[in-house]
Amino acid sequence: MTPKVYINGKLYDKADAKISVYDHGLLYGDGIFEGIRIYHGKVFRLRAHIDRLYESARHIHLEIPMSPEQLMTAVNDTVRANEKREGYIRLVVTRGAGYLGLDPRRTTDPQIIIIVDDISMYPKELYENGMNLVTVATIRNHPAALKTRIKSLKNLNNILAKIEAVQAGCVEALMLNHLGQVAECTGDNIFLVKQGVLKTPPVEAGILEGVTRNAVMELARAAGIEVHETPLTRHDFYTADECFLSGTAAEIIPVVKLDSRPIGNGKPGPVTRQLRERFQQLVREE
């Protein structure tokens, strides 16, 4: 069937889904978004994503012209209209169309856009055999310049890092913060396992507090695995027993090399496999 895109209360065929070229989301990256998964016809942790969207909106002084409950209904209705059992949702809110110039007061009518489609982040074999990462020169945005907890439309920082990774022959990049600490990858949070303890960078390291990241930590604690949110360096990953990434689109994917150095025995580890199995069970149940 032809994909249907929600824009401000109406559904349009994909080819007819359009917004103004004067929209400040397009002109200046002035807007926010959420990426959300659909499993077995149900939207995964929709409330957590909606809460984060409204938190981002408040931070950038963007008023979303509908309540969280109304927006959740719109998301679920759009999923049903697309008859999607397994898939991905891109929920976007822009500042709206206006005059040329940065001043947000010169805009009107924020645009609420809901896209429901398929997504495939990484090839299947990487989930089975693990992926390689490379540390790139592009660092995460300084938190005093742009809070990394805001899922803004201004993603050039991550895109430049992704370009570096591709040029190095990898599909994903490890990004450091302004202190030289490990932050996250271009689209995923990162974890390591050392002597049975699960560790991940804290929010203060300049990361996005991922919904899947939080689910992973919940699953780990429920399984009796000790979890630490703590500052980490590349040394910690070079000497780790296991490493994996988490994200809405990626779910949980093992990492077996960083900067051409094997992590552990160079194969996906038992804790990674256990958490991936538990996550798959979680999405079936929720």
* Helix/strand/coil (H/E/C) assignment for every residue in 81-124: HCCCCCEEEEEEEECCEECCCCCHHHEECCEEEEEEECCCCCCH
Find the mean pLDDT for residues 39-52: 97
Domains of the chain, with CATH numbers?
Answer: 4-117 (3.30.470.10), 124-285 (3.20.10.10)
**Residue the block writes with tokens 């079936």:** 284
Find the mean pLDDT for residues 60-80: 97
Q: How confident is the model at residue 143 (pLDDT cuts 50, 70, 90)?
A: confident
What pLDDT sits at residue 119? 86
Average predicted confidence (pLDDT) for the chain: 96
Residues labelled catalytic: 151
Q: For residues 70 and 50, what is the distance between their CA atoms, to the nearest angstrom? A: 11
Of residues 140, 115, 95, 118, the one with CA closest to residue 34: 115
Q: For residues 186 and 80, what is the distance between their CA atoms, to the nearest angstrom? A: 30
Q: Tell me, what amino acid is at 206?
A: G
Secondary structure (3-state) at 206 = coil
Residue 125 confidence (pLDDT) above 80: yes
Find the mean pLDDT for residues 43-66: 97
Find the mean pLDDT for residues 216-220: 98
What pLDDT sits at residue 50? 98
Find the mean pLDDT for residues 244-273: 97
Q: How confident is the model at residue 1 (pLDDT cuts 50, 70, 90)?
A: confident
% of the chain with per-residue pLDDT over 70: 100
For the chain, the residue count is 286
Q: Count the Cβ atoms, other than its own, within 10 Å of residue 223.
A: 12
| pTM of the model as a whole | 0.95
What pLDDT sits at residue 38? 97
Dihedral sign (CA 116, 70, 52, 154): positive
